[in-house]
Amino acid sequence: MLSDIQFLTDRFASEGSGKTAIVWQDKECSYADLLDAVQYWRERLAQEDVTSRDIVSLTADFSPSATALLLALVERGCTVVPLTSSVAHNRDTFLDIAQVTIDITLAPDDTGLFTRFARTPDHPLYQDLWQGHRAGLILFSSGSTGKSKAALHDFGLILDKFRETRPAKTTLAFLLFDHIGGINTLLHVLSNGGGLVTVADRSPATVCRTIDEYGVQILPTSPTFLNLLLMSGAVDQFDLRSLDTITYGTEVMPESTLLRLRSRFPDAKLAQTYGLSEVGILRSKSEASDSLWVRLGGTGVETRVIDGLLEIKSTSVMLGYLNAPSPITEDGWFMTGDSVEERDGLFRIFGRKSEMINVGGEKVFPAEIESVLHDIDGVEDVCVYGEQHSIVGNIVVARVSLTTGETTAEFRKRMMQHCRERLAPFKVPQKILLSKEQMHGERFKKNRSVLQATPERPLQQGRK
């Protein structure tokens, strides 16, 4: 059987024309409109002779047409590769890796341009999908710690978690269309008869204005964006009282940012989420709004910790990578690479093992240092990473954006005084780089691999 979206279209029909499904470019699309769009794309795909063995890249955002087309492709049994303009520099590479046979690009007016490629997909993982007559989903990792990996999923298994209905909420579409968090948000909202509100851009001012105008209840985002939001002043320019939940994931939350967020939004629930391109978004429950401890699991999910690293066994785990060895053990456990501590069924996530800085045999996690530096007056943003050192192996480097006019030497003096009582000596940054360059990628996640100084790409150190 091809992937079943009937439960979704049934819910669209039950909501009808009286309920807004998606707000796109300040226009409201009802569930009845969305159902009509699904039917349009069913007919269009048939006319274009799109088959279940096609690998289809879909370059779009969360428009009604993109949403309907995504569902029509899944229903047809295709393997879908969602893309956005944020990966334009990697686009051709991604199309090659996925062996895309058809590209559909949606224009700003939501019309679709079809381009067919003379490719015959032959990756062994596709054979498994085709034999089971199942639709697929390919998600590319952000590449923030190295090369982007292409994770292939059985789309039917992803859909299964949305069959159980939950409360309907008005939610902002912040996480991108080509991100597992964005796909999860879209399906969660629509499967429960909620409203998805899109934004023209993801600046703090636009996000706050949209929350105010449409009474957004849930903001799913990243710690990096939440820090920018708090620093921007936009939170004081708009009425954000409709927000009852702010969820954060994709990277480790600095504790200082969480506490500032809690102070600014005392009545909102702050909830940590956990998900990966390879396993989807897990059910999670924070210990409290001001706690970084979180319970992970849900139906069909098991967790374990091996040598301090989290491993997950889930029915929604990917089939494998198209361009890298599988990180799944022979008995079905996905090795996340996330360093964690466990307490009474709760987890504290410290960061990726690949981002850990080894200073003379001592472990240093960037998020801990960033949390301390964020508490220094005048620090607008900060990114911490390691740099090789001939004596201690690595030293801690902090790249800092300041709102003050300090020199590197002046800030270093303040920083050392601030860190002395808060960090062990080996954790204190030994190199400071002052810069106004953006420290995150399009997904609002710290991009440490790009920010590290190299002989080919030195970084400015600010005024002496």
Q: What is the pTM of this model?
A: 0.90
Note the pLDDT of residue 299: 79
CB atoms inside a 10 Å sphere around CB 366:
26
**pLDDT of 110 above 90:** no
Asked if residue 59 lies in contact with residue 100, where contact means CB atoms within 8 angstroms, the answer is no
- What value does the mean pLDDT take over residues 18-47? 96
State pLDDT tens for residues 371-407.
999 999 999 999 999 999 989 899 999 999 999 989 9
Mean pLDDT score, 223-247: 95
- In whole angstroms, what is the distance from residue 464 CA to residue 460 CA? 11
Query: What does 236-275 look like in DSSP terms, one character per residue?
Result: GTS--TT--EEEE-SSPPPHHHHHHHHHH-TTSEEEE-EE
Does residue 117 surpass a pLDDT of 70?
yes
- Per-residue pLDDT band for 300 (boundaries 50, 70, 90) equals confident
* CA angle in degrees (0–180, nearest 5) for 176-180-181: 65
Q: Say whether pLDDT at 460 is over 60.
A: no
Is the pLDDT assigned to residue 444 strictly greater than 90? no
Q: Is the pLDDT of residue 178 over 70?
A: yes
Instruction: State how far the Cα of 403 lies from the Cα of 167, in Å rounded to an integer.
Output: 42
Q: Which are the contacts of 290, defined by CB distance < 8 A and separation ≥ 6?
A: 258, 259, 262, 270
Phi-psi region of 284 (alpha: psi -120 to 50; beta: other; left: phi over 0): beta
**459 pLDDT above the threshold of 50:** no
Res 145: pLDDT: 54
User: What percent of the chain lies above the pLDDT cut of 70?
Assistant: 95
Which two three-digit tokens encode residue 450?
Answer: 């790009």
Residue 142 has pLDDT above 80, yes or no: no
Contact in structure between 293 and 255 (CB atoms under 8 Å) = no
453 pLDDT higher than 90? no
Instruction: Determine contact, residues 393/360, Cβ cutoff 8 Å.
Output: yes
Phi, psi of 155 (to 5 degrees): -65, -30
